[in-house]
A = this chain, B = another copy of it.
Amino acid sequence: METKFQYFAQFAKGNRWSTFDNLTSLIMQSLVHLGGINAGQDHVAADSTQESSSPKKKVVILGTGWAGMSFLKNLDSKLYDVRIVSPRNYFVFTPLLPSVTVGTVEARSITEPIRRIIRKKEAQFHEAECIKIDVDKKQITCKDVSDITFKGKEEFDLPYDYLVIAVGATSNTFGTKGVMEYCHFLKDIEDAERIREHIINCFETASLPHLSSEERRKLLNFVVVGGGPTGVEFSAELHDLVHEDLLCLYPHLKDNVKITLVQSGDHILNTFDRRISQFAEKKFSRDGVHVKIGCRVLEVTDEYIRFKAKDTGKLVDVPYGMIVWSTGISTRPVIADFMKQIGQEKHRVLATDEWLRVKNCEGVYALGDCASIEQRKIVEDIAYIFKQADKDNNSLLSAAEFVETMEEVRLRYPQIDLYMDHKHMKGVIGLLDEALNSGDQDNAQLDLEHFSAAMSKVDSLMKCMPATAQVAAQQGTYLAHSFNHIARHKPAEGPKRIRAEGRHRFNPFCYRHLGQFAPLGGEQAAAELPGDWVSIGRSTMWLWYSVYASKQVSWRTRALVMFDWTKRFVFGRDSSRM
């Protein structure tokens, strides 16, 4: 894989658009080492053997998305009796879903059958949907999703010792009327294919001879709700499809197509660096993609979509041909039921601790979009930490005491590292400087009150992890490591316990953000890269191609995706309606 990257890096270097030549290869090297789920890498230790003659513990994995697959790939399946349950017998490389909606890549090029992934593993896959989790009996109930079940045999139970919930999430309509009925979503392969068909339907119906030009304009008004990465990428892909391919085939519709991107916030791509969202807005305005910021969707009917402009309060009804709703995520029904069962009904998603264990629920783990880590605040344990640190019991921490303790404590509270990164601190001593509000470390005398104030500042920066493939994949890898560790009876490797004796078995999960991409159409992309680098333009698009090709789950999908890109360059996108 290194070799291929070097090739891409060289390519980018020789490229006349390249704006950050030296950076490119650096980044690629760092990206190669992402905790992804490449087929080439087998994280399972080669020397692993089943170390106990007792029956293997049953691990049931729900879901075949990023979290589930990353867990499965990294789990030493010889150590457990592994079952995977999912209504989808394939893994989807979701970051390329917007490309599938317009045919830049084909649906089957970004999916890999689960049974191929587990071919060399001791694991069983069942294509079924989990409809009930029974924590008392430690079993789940599953339902066959095909339409060829036998009467009275639609459901079956599976017992578990460990349950790994990685079922992902559904779209969130925020209760907006009509969204469920009239909007398209962009969560799964079927969604993408439905959108693809619908776009062509709009163009074909608009080409019928008996329509008025007003009706044509309505059919060709495409509305995208949500200015996040998915919404923006879909708008860009749709714009490319229309202008690079469809208008050559439907030249009579040239003046009727309109693409509108609706964002409730003040900017699109608002999780990205300000420069990126500005660039994206400018590019869209140049391309003729209408960006409506500060607009909230109130209602959708079969005729129009109703917005409210936040600043003026004015209501606008816009007729549409297609709406793609790409904002917000929501819990799946089975998880909502489960949350009620375990007293988490007030949470947005399943709450876990830092080790991905579902709270108050023995043997159940949750990761990916269906779960959220409730990170323990440092201030909750502040008295215990202070007491541990204060070796000489003088109720004041010296610099040495502070550093010694904090080096241990930062393992337990990942927010410390995030905070230090954010503030560009070189070590925990920076925290002391900040707490003391001075650089005089030699005479440092930190009392509980100031210590607590400093730590609550650290806690305040804590936020939920984004619902991205990156987080899910890292969580899967992390959890698999934990499972392998337990089954191999290895000693605890976590940080010291704060309130009790001994050590935690593992370090808590710590998310490493490795950057993010936003393709903007017309062979341009924007990227946030490790080390606060921002990169925009054509060379970034090439970086995007190389990173996304390298991150494919198998050599098969890698070859297919690269062929699809080539095909698009040579022949354009297909406009058959199927």
Contact = CB atoms under 8 A, between A and B. Distances in A.
A126 B156 contact: no
B201 A574 contact: no
A89 B219 contact: no
A208 interface: yes
Interface string A535-578: 00000000000000000000110011001000100110011111
A89 B204 contact: yes
A346 interface: no
A108 B106 contact: yes
A89 B189 contact: no
A125 B89 contact: no
Nearest to A246: B115
A576 B90 contact: yes
Copies of this chain held together in the complex: 2
A201 B108 CA distance: 17
Contact of A204 (B127, B559, B577): B127
A116 B200 CA distance: 14
A128 interface: yes
Contact of A207 (B125, B201, B577): B125
B126 A190 contact: no
B208 A89 contact: no
Contact of A215 (B115, B153, B563): B153
A362 to B, nearest CB: 24
A286 B574 CA distance: 41
Contact of A576 (B89, B124, B144, B215): B89
Contacts of A149: 205
A250 B115 contact: yes
B201 A148 contact: yes
A186 to B, nearest CB: 16
A205 to B, nearest CB: 5
Given A144-B205, A560-B567, 19 more contacts: A89-B200, A90-B576, A106-B108, A108-B578, A111-B574, A111-B576, A111-B578, A126-B208, A127-B204, A127-B205, A146-B201, A146-B204, A147-B201, A148-B321, A153-B215, A190-B578, A555-B571, A556-B571, A563-B563
Interface of A: 88-90, 106-108, 111-113, 115-116, 119, 124-128, 144, 146-150, 153, 156, 158, 189-190, 193, 198, 200-202, 204-205, 207-211, 215, 219, 248-250, 321, 555-556, 559-560, 563, 567, 570-571, 574-578
